[in-house]
Structure 1
Amino acid sequence: INGIYSELPQLVLTQPESWKLGAYIALITNFGNIAPFLLVLIKCLYRKHIINPVPINYIVILVGMLSCFLLIFFWSYTTIIANEKRSTVLLILAFFLSLLDCTSSISFADYICRFRKEFTSTIFLGDSLNSILPSVLAIAQGNGRIYCVELTNRTNETTAVYQTARFSVSVYFLCLFTLFTISFIAFVLLQWTSIARKSHQLVPETSLEIMNTNHKPQKSLTTSTYLLLSLGCTYSSSILFGMLFSIATYVLMPYGHEIFYLGTIISPWMFTIVWIIGIIKPIIAKRYLLILIILGSITFVFDMIATFKSPCPSFVGTTKRSVLILIIWLSTYILLGYPRLVIANYVRIYSTNGMFWFGANVQLGALIGSIVAYLLVETFSLFRERKACEQVIC
């Protein structure tokens, strides 16, 4: 679904919903949570049985391949519903991609438990690539490139004109289909090659003991601590995957289209930084975990203040202040993303089902955050965006 979001600036130019298309896709993405809900329900009803994530992952990847393949040819097809044109095919296939996106958060998190615990952080690398690769394609396409044109009606107003893309939307979806094909091949290799099997978890992990960097046993996680860690995962995920995407325009656009472009392009790379930090330091003390979440919450509060003050937030008008808000924006991803990785390492050792419920908490947080954002943005219309090239006197 991130691939569709990255292509949104091109899609809105031709589709009848225009920029409201993003809100429709966001709403449809929430309906995709029905798949992880069913997984959790099955897990609760059949507690004595183990859900095999392998066939689920095969289905997830194949659904993604088929959806992107169909988008190559039918993304622009519209139908008339209630006397209005709608991007029916695009929205239906976006729903199937959202099923994929929501389900993979749980199924791949559960699947990673088959491998040694040092490979846990790779799922976060996958999270980052999930956003980075579509954004790189969008950059290569020339997505989002604009120039300002002064209107000839003597009002000194300017309007944004999007430059012609280097390749079409169909070619973009063809590239996504190719990426899914590569993912499918990679997953098959993980299942059937001896190199991958050598990385499998051979010795059962101790559920009540964690080894720190000095190999000294720490006290086991209590149930209350485990629940607090799960709450921290849900909270951080609600901001990272629910709120930040929805408010990006309101936070960054007042500081200029360049800052907005940099913020949306660079932010996925923050998850890669989180992954690198996680390799170096996969476990930290829980008190430091709390400190990082608090710091991330503080930077998020700054983001929300800028959102409510849009289109005239604080620090607007100078390059240094614009860079400062960009740093605050990107810091939120690291300060909340790294604790999420650490929590994954904690809960994996706590329980054999720890990663399954970690994935469920991630998806629950994303759902909560997106609902809150939708209410603030669409239902109550509390924010006002600053459009590209719009001249606003603050």
Structure 2
Amino acid sequence: MSYAQTSFFSCLTAIRSCLFPDASRMSLLTHLLAVLFGMGSWVSINGLWVELPLIVPQIPEGWYLPSYLSVIIQMANVGPLFVTLMHRFRPGTLSETAVIYVIIALGTVATFLLGFFWKETVVFAGLHRSVALLVLTFFLAAVDCTSSVTFLPFMMRLKPQYLTTYYIGEGVSGLLPALVALVQGVGVVHCINSTQISNQTSNTSSSELQALYQPANFSVEVFFFFLSAMMLVCLVAFLLLNYHPAVARDQNKKWSEQKNMLDLYKSPKRRSRFGTGTYSVMEVVYIFVILAWVNALTNVVVPSVQSYSCLPYGNNAYHLSATMAAVSNPLACFIALFLPIRSLVLMGALTVFGSGVGAYIMWMAALSPCPLLVHDTWGAVIIVLAWVVFVLSLSYVKVMVGVILRDQGHSALVWCGAVVQLGSLLGAVTMFPLVSIFSLFSSGDPCNTKCP
């Protein structure tokens, strides 16, 4: 080997040592499998949401469907509730691995069946209803909600570094369907001139822009088959995480972990009965309150008004904000892979900062269809940046909480998943009446925003 080649590989080794100080104990294969496993956590429901512009025109529920989906997803929390209660009152009764196999297989089958039956209707109470779509959506929601209290605890079997990689995969579960929908052409609109006769007697006319939606590049059925394939990939990744020999060396040694936990239990530093006792009761409450608050904002509250906050600035601003926000989630997890900070002060500061940016987005949504700087390019730039910063900061907070709770043991991650779902539930209960019943937000026209 030449001197130049030797120097090159030495540089690569040095860079690898800087970026991955524990590289000798970390497997790239395990990282990849953790990403693919995490991707299956919410890919089906996220995919369903981004496909709504193509689904809604072809079903009798129309744009009432998003409201129905919100209710169905919250009803599906019976899954994580059951798992959490079993973990609390009958520990060891449920096989965590078996539950994961069942829910991933169920998600694979349900998305596959959606490809065939999503627009089939049944006459119920004299009206046509998309029963198959709603029932299969319930199963998908049950799968994804239950993943919060099963996937995370399973990651306890691997070394701590892989939990952050799992969160990257969870972020990809929102990014990948969004990118595929972008290729599909979902909701892409062209503004064309439309001449309207305003006064036939005087034969005068006025011209305005009319929204013309571009036909999709491939069908809804193909999109659902893609989602089913992604769930199948998640299943294969989970199989390999359990049985591949290369993953075995990345698993925690249970006897040493139990010994460390026992040492911590005997330590005078123990301050609460939660996990290892590292944190006081008030600190544990603080962590879980932040977890519930952040998930309420990022999963339900702010996303429910995304169209109201962005469409007045134009269709490009709307699609760019949705895409960049989807990219920001895994990006935050990737940053946390190198900076796994556990500071409770920083967690609180980022939460306040992200919540402030979220408040600005909500304010613009409340002002729709005439938000600030609606006719100015800077208005579109600011709203896109607001979405990026909002998702980036609060996604990092979620990873921080996950890293902290991972150190507290398996039970802490089960409760982590339960609180994530609780926060989402509270967000849905709050936003559903505001958006769907009281109609406090008004949509902007992507082509004709008439504001002073």
TM-score (norm 1): 0.93
Of 60-69 and 154-163, the range deviating more from structure 2:
154-163
Task: Tell me the residue number matched to 1:156.
Answer: 207
The verdict on how the C-alpha distance between 1:78 and 1:150 changes in structure 2, with shifts beyond 3 A counting, is farther
- CA deviations on 1:30-53 (whole Å, 9 max, x unpaired) are 11111111112222222x537432
Take 1:284 and 1:39, find their aligned partners in 2: how far apart are those partners?
28
Match of 1:189 among 221, 229, 240: 240
Match of 2:423 among 343, 361, 365: 365
Take 1:307 and 1:198, find their aligned partners in 2: how far apart are those partners?
50
Q: What does 1:220-239 align with in structure 2 at a 5 Å threshold?
A: 220-239=278-297
State the SS of the aligned residue for 1:85.
Answer: strand
Give the drift of 1:180.
1.3
Task: Tell me the residue number matched to 1:204.
Answer: 257
The verdict on how the C-alpha distance between 1:279 and 1:173 changes in structure 2, with shifts beyond 3 A counting, is same
Take 1:372 and 1:191, find their aligned partners in 2: how far apart are those partners?
40
The structure with more radius of gyration: 2
Task: Tell me the residue number matched to 2:336.
Answer: 278
Give the drift of 1:230.
1.0
Question: Is 1:322 aligned to 2:384, yes or no?
Answer: no
Give the drift of 1:64.
0.8
Take 1:177 and 1:125, find their aligned partners in 2: how far apart are those partners?
20
Task: Tell me the residue number matched to 1:106.
Answer: 149
Task: Tell me the residue number matched to 1:215.
Answer: none
State the SS of the aligned residue for 1:40.
Answer: helix
Give the drift of 1:122.
2.0
Give the drift of 1:159.
3.0
Q: What does 1:259-278 align with in structure 2 at a 5 Å threshold?
A: 259-278=317-336
Give the drift of 1:72.
1.4
Take 2:74 and 2:347, find their aligned partners in 1: how far apart are those partners?
29
Task: Tell me the residue number matched to 2:60.
Answer: 16
Task: Tell me the residue number matched to 1:214.
Answer: none
The verdict on how the C-alpha distance between 1:98 and 1:352 changes in structure 2, with shifts beyond 3 A counting, is closer
State the SS of the aligned residue for 1:153.
Answer: strand
Cα RMSD, aligned residues only:
1.9
Task: Tell me the residue number matched to 2:180.
Answer: 137
Take 2:140 and 2:419, find their aligned partners in 1: how far apart are those partners?
20
State the SS of the aligned residue for 1:308.
Answer: helix
Of 379-388 and 285-294, the range deviating more from structure 2:
379-388
Q: What does 1:1-394 align with in structure 2 at a 5 Å threshold?
A: 1-46=45-90, 48-49=91-92, 51-154=94-197, 155-202=206-253, 203-204=256-257, 206=260, 220-394=278-452
Of 74-83 and 168-177, the range deviating more from structure 2:
74-83
Take 1:165 and 1:34, find their aligned partners in 2: how far apart are those partners?
36
Take 1:323 and 1:231, find their aligned partners in 2: how far apart are those partners?
32
- Structure 2 gaps of 5+ residues are 1-44, 198-205, 266-276
Give the drift of 1:314.
1.3
CA contact (8 A) 1:71 1:173 kept: yes
Take 1:329 and 1:177, find their aligned partners in 2: how far apart are those partners?
29
Take 1:275 and 1:131, find their aligned partners in 2: how far apart are those partners?
13
Take 1:104 and 1:249, find their aligned partners in 2: how far apart are those partners?
28
Take 2:400 and 2:177, find their aligned partners in 1: how far apart are those partners?
26
TM-score (norm 2): 0.81
